[in-house]
Amino acid sequence: MFNVSDITRNEFMLTGGLSGNGYDWWWHSFTAKSTKTGEERPFFVEFFICNPALGGKEPVFGQLPENKEKGVKPSYLMIKAGCWGKEHAQLHRFFGIEEVDIKGTAPFSISAGECYASENRLFGNINVSEEEKEAHPEWMSDAGKIQFNLTIEKEVAFNVGYGAGKPLRLAEAFEMYWHAEGMKSLFYGSVIFNGEEFEVIPESSYGYADKNWGKDFTSPWLWLSSNHMVSRKTGKELTNSVFDIGGGRPKVYFMPLERKLLGAFYYEGKEYEYNFSKPWTGAKTRFKFEEKEDEVVWKVILNNSESVMKVEVHCKKEDMLFINYEAPNGKKLHNKLFNGGNGTGRVWLYKIEDGLQKLVDDIDIYNVGCEYGEYDEE
């Protein structure tokens, strides 16, 4: 069972050793419709906290040359928001830790200035001018304006189980933890991006909400998720379905587990899980990422003793961005982390019966959140 809500996993995790060498983020993505043109566009909003024990009134940037030279670690709340598509952009706003109000226990909340995030509310604004973008490369931001005011209803969770449970969290066993409290979520509200207003309608928001925390980022780094699906067998939209896949190269006590993924498919109320941290299920994963001239392609096969899930996703490079983060140690190693929100593709789901694969469904998928990046180890 993976559809188990646990909002304690959305709590603020940067205590103990992680307070001075850790990050914690709450990610949200959804689709909205232009009130002027009717165009659909995917958006994202993230609240990211880094090294709170090292902060003060002003944000500390690890990418500043003088800080790189002195080995100064970053410390701040970064609010990241933007959109995918031909006008893709990621905009960043920073606050010093002393300017942030954090309710760390469940249900969590974070507020700074006019910006706020909790389990079911999200609002704020970011404004970065061209002059500020050029003068502050350490912000890792594009130029633009965005304002968001959203309510969230989380319908289906991906709880990875013991791997992100309290004992291993307290032991800081994994380098990077993951919990998707709302891998299928309804968003409603509004976004104003560069002066254009977008309406967020629950039924067509195809929303997603998760969080990651830890000491560093995995490489390779893979993520795929969608809840906009149409069955090729019936021709009908699957309104009670969602899948979520993440991972790449997790580390346990600094030991890498090569090419491991966590995957879940909630298919019209039935659960199919592929979780390497549950070895008794026989879960195995294979994946391939290919960069072509105009697009990037993911191919993933997940299987356990009872089922097989095959996924293929395509996303146009012109619709994507290279998403920016600096690690808690101040290094920015992921400099080609493909990130998109309007991938398309296909999922094949099979049951294993008497040693044979029997097709459950062949599904077209849309509005796919998709990510991939890797770097050479130093």
pLDDT at 34 over 80: yes
pLDDT one-digit tens code per residue, 281-308: 889 999 999 999 999 999 999 999 999 9
pLDDT at 254: 57
pLDDT at 164 over 60: no
Predicted TM-score of the model (pTM): 0.95
Average pLDDT for 296-325: 98
Helix extents (H) in the chain: 65-70, 130-135, 166-170
- On the 0-12 / 13-18 / 19+ scale of CB atoms within 10 A, 114 is exposed
pLDDT at 279: 84
pLDDT at 257 over 90: no
User: What's the per-residue H, E or C state across 6-40?
Assistant: CHHHHCCCCCHHHHCCCEEEEEEEEEEEECCCCCE
Structural domains of the chain in order of their starting residue, each with its CATH number: 7-373 (2.40.370.10)
Closest CA to 114 of 103, 101, 105, 131: 101
The tokens for 233 are 């067998």
CA distances from 104 to 101, 122, 177 (A): 9, 16, 17
Q: State the amino acid at position 134 in one-letter form.
A: E
| Average confidence score pLDDT of the chain | 94
pLDDT at 259: 73
